[in-house]
Amino acid sequence: MKQIALVFVSGGLGSALRFYISKTFNDYFPNFFLGTFIVNILGCLLIGLILGISFKHNYLSQNQTLLLATGFCGGFTTFSSFAFENHTLLKLGEYYGFAIYLGSSILLGIAAVAFGLWISKMI
């Protein structure tokens, strides 16, 4: 239960920060979501640092890793988890799995958004 609470609270903080950054920066360029881009890249950097420190030095406890990586970075952006998972597949030499996961996530994600928008017009 403690781990769920850690993820819940830190995920909320990450989500609030994502909202603030996106709201602040997305209006700067009409054809580019600068805030979302900043959040995604920063989230990837953060999860790399957090998990790298956790794995290499065993510096962070499991609860601290859950708080920072799963909770905060997960709330801040799921793109960070997605990027880390793709990096893991590449590092393991799972090139076929990487290609399938990357391509299908992007294509099916965009298709799912389009389908959801289409369904919403029918309701």
Q: Which residues are annotated as a binding site for Na(+)?
A: 74, 77
Binding site as annotated, residues = 74, 77
Quote the DSSP letter at residue 93.
Answer: T
Say how far apart CA 35 and CA 32 lie, in whole Å.
Answer: 9
Phi and psi based region of residue 32 (left: phi greater than 0; alpha: psi -120 to 50; beta: remaining): beta
Q: CA torsion 30→27→42→40, rounded to 10°? A: -50
Which two tokens mark 93?
A: 């030499």
Residue 77 and residue 16 in contact, taking contact as beta carbons nearer than 8 Å: no
